[in-house]
Amino acid sequence: MKKWGLLLLFSGFFLPRVLLAAELLWGVPTSPSKVKETYLQLKPLADYLSKKMGPSFRLEPLPWKAFESSFRQGAFSLVLASPGVLLLKGPYEPLLVLKSRHTPALIFRGPLEEALKGRMVAVWPYAYEGYLAQAAYLARQGRPPSGVLFLGGEDLVIFAVLNGKAALGMVSFEAARPYASRLKVVKVAGPAGWLLLVQRGLSPALKDRLKKAFLSYPGKGFVFSEPGDYQRFFSFKKYLP
């Protein structure tokens, strides 16, 4: 019975959502295989926020395709995602930045020069660092990507490079590390952190309450700060295929 209960609970995450009145829905993109893992990882923070904001506050991780649809429709009150989500043009604005423990990385099999020749790269846009830091790195080297192949998870990006379907991949170093014996992995310095976004239509008072609630979280693993100049992320639109 418990097994079926969990299945029913998480199967609902795979569908686009419509925000109900007075509901504070917190959307988070993840890969289809990590919906439950993401939920459990963020649950302590979500439980704390529910006490601060009331029972209408609810966490809902979604596989990235369903997340993208819901994001564009404005189905969430707030969102925690890679800066790459700004390219989806949803009705949101940055509220805070969550410091990330993950490091952007480039992965490839042969010499980097060979991998860069085609410059069509495989990415999961909602990886911990998206693909923005890696794209910026290549641009600084005078090798900007000519296009991006979007895949549904970091594991799929890694397998695409391993199987020769893509010469270059952009993932987090933590995801690539187990494959270091089969791939070349290069860490990339860049913007580290996810953006916490809120719906533009929320009242200033509610936005302020949400900000104070996130900043006051006493637990470990979630360090939020002011977003700063987030407009710089929009310059990466040119890397979309």
Q: Smallest Cα–Cα separation from 88: which of 79, 98, 97? A: 79
CATH number of 20-99+193-239: 3.40.190.10
Range with top average pLDDT, 141-145, 172-176, 181-185, 223-227: 181-185
The whole-chain average pLDDT of the chain stands at 80
C-beta of residue 84 within 8 angstroms of C-beta of residue 29:
no
Dist. CA 23–CA 20, nearest whole Å: 5
Can you tell me the mean pLDDT for 84-104?
A: 82
CA distance 22 to 111: 54
Ranking 64-73, 95-104, 117-126 by mean pLDDT, the lowest is: 117-126
Q: Considering the chain, what percentage of its residues have pLDDT values greater than 90?
A: 37
**Is residue 97 within 8 Å of 195, Cβ to Cβ?**
yes
pLDDT of 118 = 62
Q: Which of 3-17, 18-32, 144-158, 159-173 has the lowest mean pLDDT?
A: 3-17
**pLDDT of the residue at 116:** 76
User: Strand 194-199's sheet: what is its strand order?
Assistant: 57-63, 24-30, 78-81, 194-199, 92-98, 224-225
Q: What is the mean pLDDT of residues 114-142?
A: 72
Query: Residue 190 has what pLDDT?
Result: 61
Please give the pLDDT value at position 90: 87
Domain residue extents for the chain: 20-99+193-239, 104-187
Average pLDDT over residues 32-44: 92
Q: Which CATH number fits the domain 104-187, given the four candidates 1.20.140.10, 3.40.50.300, 3.40.190.10, 2.40.160.40?
A: 3.40.190.10
Number of C-beta neighbours around residue 221 at 10 A: 12
Query: Does residue 91 surpass a pLDDT of 50?
Result: yes
Q: What is the mean pLDDT of residues 18-33?
A: 76
Domains 20-99+193-239 and 104-187 share a fold: yes
Instruction: State pTM to two decimals.
Output: 0.70
**Side-chain-facing half-sphere of 42: CA atoms under 13 Å:** 23
pLDDT in tens, 190-240: 655 788 999 999 999 999 999 999 999 998 888 898 876 555 555 555 555
Summarised one tens digit per residue, pLDDT across range 2-25 is 444 444 344 444 444 444 446 899
117/168 Cα distance (integer angstroms): 10
Question: Per DSSP, what are the bridge partners of residue 187?
Answer: 105
What does the alpha-carbon distance between residue 162 and residue 179 come to, in Å, rounded to a whole number? 9
Structure tokens that stand for 158 in this block: 């890694």
